[in-house]
Amino acid sequence: MKLIEKMLKTDVLLADDFADLGRYLECLSKSPESAKSPAGARSPLGARSPANANNSATTQSPATADTPTSTKSPAGTGVTDLPAEDVAPGRLLWVLDSNTELLIHPTPKPVVTLKAGEGSKTLKNVETILEAACEHDMSRTDAILGMGGGVVTDTAAFAASVYKRGCRLILVPTSLLSMVDASIGGKTGVNFLGAKNIVGTFYPADTVVICVDYLKSLPDREYKSGLAEVIKTAFLARDDELLKELVMRPESVKKRSPDELKHIITLCVKTKSSYVREDLEEKTALRRALNLGHTFGHALESLKRMSVSHGDAVAWGMACALRAGAEEHVCEGRFAETMIRLLSGYGFDTEYKIKPSEWDEYRKYLYKDKKNLGGELRFVLLAERGFTVEKALDTERIRRIVSA
């Protein structure tokens, strides 16, 4: 287990493999009974036969509360030098989805299991998590542990941020998107009234634990979705190491080489940290730069009722933003074309156009974007690698860029 970044109050840890992660989770989940009996101290990470996925949020309760009695991890875990409170924060409420539940045996308790998918990113599921926390009399020093993709980490983090005005939070992202973006930086949120992430808070996790072994079995659609955020991060990085990696080693990235993934994820975490550390609550244009492609993209997700993946929408949004930047003379046309070709090379549709009949609804969702000021539609545009401009665009230019 390696500490790859210290960002505000968040320790971002990188596990060597599943075994390393399992030992760490075992330290977190030890109960008094398992501490007394080695036979009972089973790792919560293990093989489990696939079963029918749960179709709604469910909760399971333990016979006795899971209260860690030791802050020292087993020999060889690589986490004994971490602060004691990071290894054993108190009791845990686990938040999983119907996919990650299948990866854990035995199922940890207490647990809330959400149906996998964007449709679970709701206030109702936040309420379900809060009800479970209250039922088990969780304190502010106990922790909500979210293990899953961006839906789980965003939803669990939002619940943690409002439970007793903030309890401890541990995130174990299992998708590439969540590893490089959703679990990093403290943004929490759920969708509301058809709008993406319109309700949420800023609440950095205490600990984020990343294990690239999860990415071996991640569906291609979800892996590709995460690559859009990796490319966005490369566009925003102030050095060119990540961009060079994506340009020079595309096959290694696409084939999910573990060493390659650890390298690019570490670069993404460090780049995002450099933005968040200076502007946690997005009060200036600095952190808002991380929304590159998202204003165009979120409106497309809402228009398509979340049937378009976040990554596909953001990649398309970045292509739109690059074209707008070239038209507004924010960036050179050749630069925009080169960056768009990189997106296309990773399989993203950068030429998609919404139907003319969809324009009015699409524009409605654009006006719900959080960056808009005084009725102006504001967009993050890329001037050059590592430098952005926030600019208002008139609706006619937007329509011409996004619509057939």
pTM of the predicted model as reported, rounded to 2 decimal places:
0.85
Longest dimension (CA), the chain: 69
The number of helices, as runs of H, and strands, as runs of E, in the chain is 16, 12
Question: How far is it, in rounded angstroms, from Cα 223 to Cα 275?
Answer: 24
pLDDT of residue 103: 87
Residue 59 pLDDT: 56
Residue 275 near residue 160, CB atoms below 8 Å: no
Please list, in sequence order, all residues whose beta carbon lies within 8 angstroms of the beta carbon of residue 389, skipping any fewer than 6 positions away: 325, 330, 380, 381, 383
State the DSSP H helix or E strand holding residue 402, giving kind and residue range, or none if neither.
helix 395-402
| Amino acid 104: pLDDT | 86
Please say whether the beta carbons of 148 and 217 come within 8 A: no
Q: Helices (DSSP H) in 211-293: which residue ranges? A: 220-236, 241-248, 250-254, 258-276, 285-288
268 phi and psi angles, rounded to 5 deg: -65, -45
Alpha-helix residue ranges (DSSP H) falling in 256-307: 258-276, 285-288, 294-303
Torsions phi, psi of 381, nearest 5? -115, 145
- Alpha carbons 338 and 372: distance in angstroms, whole number: 29
| Coil, strand or helix at 215 | helix
In the prediction, which pLDDT does 30 show?
A: 67
301 three-class SS: helix
**Residue 346 in contact with residue 250, Cβ under 8 Å?**
yes
**Cis ω for the linkage preceding 74 (within 30 of 0):** no
Which one, of 347, 340, 312, lies nearest residue 324 by Cα?
340
* CATH code for the part of the protein at 285-402: 1.20.1090.10
Which residues on neighbouring strands pair with residue 209, listed in sequence order? Answer: 13
CA-wise closest residue to 108 among 132, 97, 92:
92
Tell me whether residue 76 is exposed, middle or buried, using C-beta atoms within 10 angstroms of its C-beta: 0 to 12, 13 to 18, 19 or more.
exposed
- Consecutive 10-residue averages of pLDDT for the chain (404 residues): 93 95 84 32 40 48 35 32 48 95 88 95 98 96 96 98 97 98 96 91 97 96 98 97 97 96 98 94 92 97 94 98 98 98 98 97 92 86 97 95 94
Instruction: State the amino acid at position 330 in one-letter form.
Output: V
**In this structure, what DSSP letter does residue 9 have?**
T
List the chain domain ranges: 2-218, 285-402
93 CB burial (10 A radius; 0-12, 13-18, 19+):
buried
Give SS3 for 91: coil
Cβ-contact 321, 330 below 8 angstroms: no
Rounded to whole angstroms, the Cα distance separating 219 from 222 reads 5
Give me the amino acid identity at 278: E
Domain 2-218 has CATH 3.40.50.1970: yes
Q: Are 133 and 144 a contacting pair, CB within 8 Å?
A: yes
